[in-house]
Structure 1
Amino acid sequence: MKKQESYLQSPDLLPISQDGRKITTLGFSFMWVGMVVVLATFAIGGAGVMSLPLPLVVLATIIGSIAIGLFISLIADIGIEHGVSFPVYMRAPFGTIGTHIPSIVRGVAASMWFGINTYFGATAMNGILNMLWGFDNWLACFFIFAFLQLLNTALGIKAVERFADMAAPTIILISIWIYLELSGTAAAEGRNVWTWTENPVTGGAAFTAFLVVIFSNMGFWATLSADIPSISRFIKAPKFERNWFKRNKGAIVGSLIALPLTQTFMIIIGAVAYIAVQNYDPVLALQETATGLVLAILLLMIVLAQWSTNISANIVPAATIFSNVGGPKFPFWAGVFAAGVVGTVVQPWSLFGIIIPVLLIVGGILSAIVGILFADYYLLRKRRVNVYDLYKAEGQFKYAGGVNVAGFIAWIIGAVVSYFFPNYSFLIGFVLGAACYYLLCKYWYFQKYKQAEIEDPSDEKFLGITVGRDWNLDDENAEVELRDAK
């Protein structure tokens, strides 16, 4: 191996083989159950019933969740087919050096969400300890809770799945209990949760409010739809399966069934919490409506949910990204703790008041990346990837000094335009990012920098699990040495 190529070949970022894929279809679905239970989800529900009745909020959530679930399933195929992570594949549309800029944006966003969810869980943990032993120090709970999550994630993806398998059934059962508690409180106040609205709107204002709920749901999961390959590369999938739906069954069941169902139910809980006590935060709502052991159990669900959410949706993607930036001397576990540091430094306890606007803006910025990934993988390369060159400093993805200029132009256009239309940010960002990238690369950049899989779209050379291939860099190095010997 040449020295200048070694920094692209961190052991934690090499393609995952068939034997290394440990997450089952049920395991990925359980991961979704845990990932959805976050403060931002409850906030969308609470904000929604300020102007719309709950049935319309539910309908908008279902539409938004299924739509983003489709995007997630599409991009997940990158990890399932080739076993590569998000920051590694980003070397294709952004270059071996350029990948770091959009990847770090996502890594910082994931770390911020880790901090927000840790604070949310820490307040619930503090509530339990205060109730049982009179301990009251949310900051100490924050650091203890953060450390436990980081340690769990540093133990590897199987430890992440095992925790989700344990937490998901508990979360589902206690969530039903929370709904019954809060809806009972609302009824006692004379409010029917399915008809009550704080400031009802009609006509165009109602349609706009409906769209805000749709795109808030999509914007929140735009983060994961971009870097889902970092998780999907661990999902079990059959070799030699050419049917896209059968090959991606694990991702599809999780993203198009488990995600919409759980997201919708948690939106309902946030809405009912707001209707019951005028606060979408169920931790505060429960402390007003429940006492004793009941309250302790309900708060325990919040703790488990934040733990499950963070390790899957935030720490794993962020750690993978930071490990990619740091190179071979910065392993995955170091990336895990780097995410923890960033998530703490941003002081997440001060970010609650701007969650919905942030979701819409970040959704637009990251949706442009999702569009670029879609155009690069499906429209231009047609799922065929020269994976060996993703790990070469001097390969086809070097472009101009390690940067794919077309990728950055498309990203900037998609992100900037979406910023001015926050209510439609995800859709605008995705469409503009994909269209600009496709046109720039097809008719300009890839004419200048030829791509092997586009020039010769061979299944046997450039597909992965579909043709039964495990991408092994040692195999490619052996082929090079054999050719050199000849």
Structure 2
Amino acid sequence: MDASTPRQSTPAPANNHLLEESILPTWLNQRPISLLGFVWMWVALAIVIVTFQYGANGVEGGLSLPVVMLVVLTATMALAVVMTLTADIGTEHGLSFAVFLRAPFGTIGTHIPSVSRGVVAACWFGIQTYIGALAINGLVEYWTGFSSWPLWYALFLAVQIANVALGIKAVERLASFAAPCILAISIWMYYTLDGVADLEGTNIWTFASGGDLSLVAFFLINMVVWAPLAVDIPSITRFVRTAPGERRFLRRNRAVLTAHFVALPMMQAWISFIGAVSFIVTGEWNPVDVIQGQSTGLVLGVLLLMIVLAQWSTNTAANVVPAALNFVNAAAPHLSYRSGVVLAGVVGTAVMPWLLLDNLFTFLSYYGGFIAAIAGIMICDYYVLRRRRLNVPALYDPHGQYRYARGVNPAALVAWFGASGVSLWQPDYAYVIGFPVAFALYLVLMRAWILRRHPQAEIDDPSDAYLATSVGRSWVHDPASGTFDRLTVDELPHGSHRADI
């Protein structure tokens, strides 16, 4: 036991709305995702339907194919900086996104941004499930003549919910299997479409539509693709293996850096390239439509099944897990992780994703600003104010330092709403407006107002007592006493209370 650990008792789980098993900090021996596993997860994640559409929109808007790929690559790497900074919250303390937000937003205030993020994730869950259902329907209709995408939507939804409910290791295994299939689809699409282009005398590299798409606007809208997961990534990185006692940021986050700055940008550029080539050659960007138009028989069946697998693997890590954990945080201790997964499916269907897909860019533009504002507040709070230190026991104490004003930190809400509102003035530039405005507002309000009224232990005493992985320790909750200890790897109990997530 570490004598320097803050010894705050928390109420029993039945009386504590902040405590539920699935949102407790993960221990260093409860992180099963390897570096390669995390890379494969991002390869699998990259085949999101909007990336195909971005590539097509780029060439349709007048940009050349090389420029489209370069913009997507650089935009993704720019967002990877934000994503890597927020990822350390999971790496260092084993905390999910929603639990960490109790520090800047308050123990009650966290529910507003975290549930909002959960709804966005659920919307994407529905959209990806709908795309997969269309692929299944195309396959069944080709072979049998029977057509009913709502039926396949319901079945596909149920299968994904069951898979995610099995736990985070099941999510990693699916991604490791799906990623090679995704690469196979994209390579087949390229060679098939390139052959068609040669027959038609079309040069894909010099194609120009004569549009007037703004290069800056195209860059920024590409950042929004992964903006929601950029704030929610601690919910995944809390399960990524890391070296205990590693104080150097780059070494501690080695798996994160490899996935975010190599796997993700390269795959995003490649998939947008396929979408652009599809549009140049066929006038279609949707991979389901392209595959149905360019293949028959067994090849059609295999490719459509791979599309289903691709949507499945993207949904599990990027949408279902974050949505479930955010919903659990809001309804603890009455909502379990598995119930949260089911709720994500219900919400994702209730928003009618088939209609959202028809208005995808409007959807992306309007949530970009409020997601960027959350990222600005998180990074300001974690790095500038708290210097990566957190009083983790107080995050689970309804009467602790993060209660602020009746559970709400007004500085965070003012910064979030203010920055989100300003960003709506220019939706195309929402991300680069929302992030710095929220960062600056939050910093000023905290230092000039909140910290004078609500002292924060880790800010007043920035010692190693408020670090975890960097000093080779894990935050461990004892349900019998209601206290937290920081234990070394050798002191941790064998086994895991993370069997279901």
Q: Same fold (TM over 0.5)?
A: yes
1:170 to 157, 181, 189: 181
1:466 aligns with 2:442: no
Quick one: distance in 2 between partners of 1:279 and 1:247? 43
Q: Which residue of 2 aligns with 1:67?
A: 78
Q: Deviations over 1:174-214 (max 9, x none)?
A: 2111121223223333322221122344xxxx5x2x22221
* Structure 1 letter corresponding to 2:26: I
* Structure 1 letter corresponding to 2:379: F
RMSD: 1.7
Deviation at 1:344, TM superposition (A): 0.6
Deviation at 1:476, TM superposition (A): 11
Q: Which residue of 2 aligns with 1:27?
A: 37
Q: Which residue of 2 aligns with 1:161?
A: 172
Quick one: distance in 2 between partners of 1:357 and 1:111? 17
Q: Which residue of 2 aligns with 1:189?
A: 200
1:46 to 52, 56, 76: 56
Quick one: distance in 2 between partners of 1:181 and 1:476? 62
Q: How does 1:278-297 map to 2 (within 5 A)?
A: 278-297=283-302
Deviates more, 1:351-360 or 1:74-83: 351-360
1:252 to 253, 257, 270: 257
Deviation at 1:390, TM superposition (A): 0.3
Q: Deviations over 1:216-255 (max 9, x none)?
A: 2211111001111111100000011011000001111111
1:143 to 154, 157, 162: 154
Quick one: distance in 2 between partners of 1:445 and 1:427? 26
**Preserved contact between residue 5 and residue 392 of structure 1 (Cα < 8 Å):** no
Q: Which residue of 1 aligns with 2:5?
A: none
1:369 aligns with 2:374: yes
Deviation at 1:333, TM superposition (A): 0.5
Equivalent residue pairs, number: 474
Q: How does 1:34-433 map to 2 (within 5 A)?
A: 34-51=44-61, 52-201=63-212, 208=214, 210-433=215-438
**Preserved contact between residue 393 and residue 483 of structure 2 (Cα < 8 Å):** no
Quick one: distance in 1 between partners of 2:159 and 2:399? 41
Deviates more, 1:396-405 or 1:413-422: 413-422
Deviation at 1:438, TM superposition (A): 1.0
* Structure 1 letter corresponding to 2:361: I
1:11 aligns with 2:28: no
Deviation at 1:363, TM superposition (A): 1.4
Quick one: distance in 2 between partners of 1:298 and 1:480? 50
Deviation at 1:480, TM superposition (A): 9.1
Q: Deviations over 1:47-71 (max 9, x none)?
A: 1111211111111101101011111
**Preserved contact between residue 219 and residue 364 of structure 1 (Cα < 8 Å):** no
Q: Which residue of 2 aligns with 1:436?
A: 441
Q: Deviations over 1:375-403 (max 9, x none)?
A: 00001000000001000000000000100
Q: Deviations over 1:426-478 (max 9, x none)?
A: 1111111111111111221111110000000011x100110111101229947
**Preserved contact between residue 27 and residue 165 of structure 1 (Cα < 8 Å):** yes
**Preserved contact between residue 5 and residue 393 of structure 1 (Cα < 8 Å):** no
**Preserved contact between residue 15 and residue 84 of structure 1 (Cα < 8 Å):** yes
Deviation at 1:131, TM superposition (A): 2.3
Distance 1:291 1:479, change over 3 A: closer
Q: Which residue of 2 aligns with 1:484?
A: none
Distance 1:389 1:178, change over 3 A: same
TM-score w.r.t. length of structure 1: 0.95
Deviates more, 1:61-70 or 1:420-429: 420-429
Q: Deviations over 1:396-430 (max 9, x none)?
A: 00000100100001101211111112222111111
- Other structure's SS at 2:16 match: helix
Quick one: distance in 1 between partners of 2:145 and 2:153? 17
Distance 1:131 1:379, change over 3 A: same
* Structure 1 letter corresponding to 2:52: F
Identity of aligned residues (%): 45
TM-score w.r.t. length of structure 2: 0.92
Quick one: distance in 1 between partners of 2:22 and 2:417? 30
Give ranges in structure 2 of 5+ residues lacking alignment.
Answer: 1-9, 486-501
Distance 1:181 1:138, change over 3 A: same
Quick one: distance in 2 between partners of 1:86 and 1:390? 12
* Structure 1 letter corresponding to 2:200: E
Deviates more, 1:372-381 or 1:188-197: 188-197
Quick one: distance in 2 between partners of 1:429 and 1:409? 13
Quick one: distance in 2 between partners of 1:160 and 1:403? 34
Quick one: distance in 1 between partners of 2:64 and 2:171? 37
Deviation at 1:127, TM superposition (A): 1.4
**Preserved contact between residue 126 and residue 345 of structure 2 (Cα < 8 Å):** yes
* Structure 1 letter corresponding to 2:404: Y
Quick one: distance in 1 between partners of 2:129 and 2:479? 43
Distance 1:479 1:185, change over 3 A: closer
**Preserved contact between residue 5 and residue 394 of structure 1 (Cα < 8 Å):** no
Distance 1:61 1:465, change over 3 A: same
* Structure 1 letter corresponding to 2:290: A
* Structure 1 letter corresponding to 2:129: T
Structure showing the higher helix proportion among its residues: 1
Deviation at 1:123, TM superposition (A): 0.7
Distance 1:6 1:303, change over 3 A: same
Distance 1:447 1:5, change over 3 A: farther
Quick one: distance in 2 between partners of 1:267 and 1:479? 49
